Amino acid sequence: MKIYHLMNISQYLLLLLCLLGDIGLASTGMKVKPICIEEERKALLSFKQDLNDMSGRLSSWVGHDCCRWEGISCNNRTGHVAKMDLRNTYDKSTAVEEWDELAYSQSRLGGIQIPKFFGELKTLRYLNISFAEFTGEIPPSLGNLSNLNYLDVCFSSSKIYSKNLNWLSHLSSLKYLNLNEVDLNSSTGWLHVVNMLPSLLELHLSLCRIESLPLSLHKINFTSLLVLDLSFNDFNTSSCPSWIFNLTSLRELDLNHNSFSAPFPVELGNLKSLEYLDLSHLGLKGSGVPRVIGNLCKLKTLHLPENNFDGGGIEEFWGSLSNCPNNTLVLESLDLSGCVLEGQLPASLGMLKSLQYLDLSCNHMNGSIPQSLGQLSELVELNLSFNSWEGILTEAHFINLTKLKSLSIGNNLDDIEKPMPIVFNLSYDWVPSFKLHTIVIRNYKVGPGFHVWLQSHTELVQVVLRGTGISDSIPKEWLLKLSSQLEYLDLSYNQFRGRLSSNQLMRFPKLHLLNLAHNQFEGPFPLWSTNASYFDLESNYFYGPIPSSFDKLMPKLEELYISENHLNGTIPPSICNMQNLTVLSLRSNHFSGEFPHTWSSWSQITIVDAAYNNLSGNIPTSMGILSSLEILKLKQQQFWR
């Protein structure tokens, strides 16, 4: 007590506070974040040294408590590392632009092999190194992680592989396994190993180059499985593996891009919990879309493209959809493209109330398109191209499609002997309730109200109006209204007329394809984009010279078709700087002077056609070194010896 006498009041209070603080800590001791295990901390630090942490994401990996480090969590009781999340943090879905390689590579951590010491973190429950760009063999020591629930190793652009999956069989708590794009070519017996994981709920083995796919199993152990993805492995078998039909809890089954040259398996009807089924590109056979699909009452996604339902109809399938009262209400995505289907589209189409995506392209369906299409009020994407439809499309077909973003319809222009059987007949005053991003109409006639209708679509990114019979001066206001987001514009084989105004200069910075061929456009060479790789002005009335700094104006050009116009002047030598040029077609214009001599940097060129011009002089001697050149036409010119 003597000591307290010597203190003043404030010192006393301080001491008291400290004591109370200690008591407080002790009483809530279980809630205090655990301090990490020293050996694990040291191992993590030495691992950090080897990593390629370009974004400085691991800057928090300092100090004693590794449990607070970015990407690390510890077990509350023991303080052992329980979770390691070292995924690539680049998120494509939030990216404004398309894939950003730089951002991606700066968000990775790897560049080294997956360290063996991961296998010592015995209490690890979660390990995610997806897209982190580790390389080499997955260390079999991961088999020591008997508590692991989640293992996600998917994708590395440099090879990541496992010679033998036996290590997996020790992970008896595993619920989620994703080895997408890990090379498992030499690891036979993968199914046997997976069969020792009774807790497994999700198995992702897409693009693993697995060759062996056992068709039967003695007894199946992993029947709790909810998700099975074996897509893109190039399995080549004569039937669908039968053990799959015992996985009756499955919600998602993806086998696309393999080869089972077999009849459509009716046993699929056992998998009544399926919500997602992708059997694309499997070479399945049958007559018509299998009725058994009608038993799968929870199906939201059905993708069967590129199978051979030889000449079968679609009506029967539609009928089977009414087997269970609900499935016409839940189906959201239906892809039956390229399935060799015949027959008409039934009016009951309109009952698929939740449908967002419908692709029936590349079949032999005929008859008229039912008006009930207009009732699919959730529809976002519609593709009816390459069939033999007849009749008229009116606004009734689109009346309630308020969410539609993409519309594709029409046939190959090559079927030129067939008359255009369908007419897009929209009234002048109809303002649609949707704004398209993509419109593709090929070889189908559009009626007079179409222009007006088109002008209400101000958010277009892809436009194909090819062979639509439009014969009009191009509505300038339409071109001006087109969004600067435009990437693809094909107006070929119409009778568009008129001078394209020069104020369109670089108007479409994102445009990479422009096709105005076979119209009656006039005006100087249209410079609409510095991003174009495909440019086709063939058979129009364009006049004047090719701009002299053409290589700078269109540096990315790969194919240039400007034949059958009234272009003149000399061919600018700068054209020879365009390294990626593969096709240069200048035929039937009024070009004069010599063909430029400096074309040695054309490493990709396959076709040069400059015939029917007023060119003079000698064939450039440098021409002989162009090994890629396949066709050279310079005839009807004075320098031809």
Contact residues for ligand NAG (CB under 6 A)? 75-76, 87-88, 119-120, 128, 130-131, 140-141, 143-144, 150, 152, 167, 172, 176, 185, 195-196, 198, 209, 211, 217-221, 234, 236, 243, 246, 259, 297, 324, 326, 342, 366-367, 374-375, 399-400, 543-544, 555-556, 568-569, 579-580
Main-chain dihedrals φ then ψ at residue 342, nearest 5 degrees: -120, 175
Question: What pairing do the DSSP bridges indicate for beta strands 357-359 and 72-74?
Answer: unpaired
Q: Least distance (Å) from ligand NAG to the CB of residue 593?
A: 9
Q: Is the Cβ of residue 200 or residue 463 nearer to ligand NAG in the bound state? A: 200
Q: Least distance (Å) from ligand NAG to the CB of residue 15?
A: 31
Q: Which long-range contacts (CB under 8 A, 24 or more apart) does 291-295 make?
A: 291/316, 291/317, 291/319, 291/320, 292/264, 292/266, 292/268, 292/320, 293/268, 293/317, 293/320, 293/321, 294/319, 294/320, 294/321, 294/322, 294/323, 294/324, 294/327, 295/269, 295/323, 295/324
CB 139 within 8 A of CB 115: yes
Q: Least distance (Å) from ligand NAG to the CB of residue 57?
A: 13
Q: Least distance (Å) from ligand NAG to the CB of residue 210?
A: 7
Q: Is the Cβ of residue 115 or residue 119 nearer to ligand NAG in the bound state? A: 119
Q: Least distance (Å) from ligand NAG to the CB of residue 205?
A: 13
Rounded CA gap, 493 and 515, in Å?
A: 10
414 contact partners, CB below 8 Å, separation of at least 6 = none
Q: Least distance (Å) from ligand NAG to the CB of residue 27?
A: 16
CB 94 within 8 A of CB 52: no
Q: Is the Cβ of residue 353 or residue 435 nearer to ligand NAG in the bound state? A: 353
Rounded CA gap, 589 and 542, in Å?
A: 10
Q: Is the Cβ of residue 374 or residue 526 nearer to ligand NAG in the bound state? A: 374
Q: Least distance (Å) from ligand NAG to the CB of residue 448?
A: 24
Q: Is the Cβ of residue 202 or residue 470 nearer to ligand NAG in the bound state? A: 202
Q: Least distance (Å) from ligand NAG to the CB of residue 350?
A: 7
Q: Least distance (Å) from ligand NAG to the CB of residue 604?
A: 8
CB 335 within 8 A of CB 355: no
Tokens found for residue 213: 């796919």
Is residue 411 classed as helix, strand or coil in its secondary structure? coil
DSSP 101-125: HHHHHHT---SSBPPGGGGG-TT--
Q: Least distance (Å) from ligand NAG to the CB of residue 465?
A: 26
Q: Is the Cβ of residue 329 or residue 631 nearer to ligand NAG in the bound state? A: 329
Identify residue 396 by its one-letter amino acid code: A
Q: Is the Cβ of residue 478 or residue 541 nearer to ligand NAG in the bound state? A: 541
Rounded CA gap, 270 and 573, in Å?
A: 68
* Max Cα–Cα distance, the chain, nearest Å: 121
Rounded CA gap, 574 and 570, in Å?
A: 11
Q: Is the Cβ of residue 171 or residue 440 nearer to ligand NAG in the bound state? A: 171
Q: Is the Cβ of residue 216 or residue 627 nearer to ligand NAG in the bound state? A: 216
Q: Which burial class, exposed, middle or buried, applies to 38 when counting CB atoms under 10 A from its CB (0-12, 13-18, 19+)?
A: exposed
Q: Is the Cβ of residue 185 or residue 224 nearer to ligand NAG in the bound state? A: 185
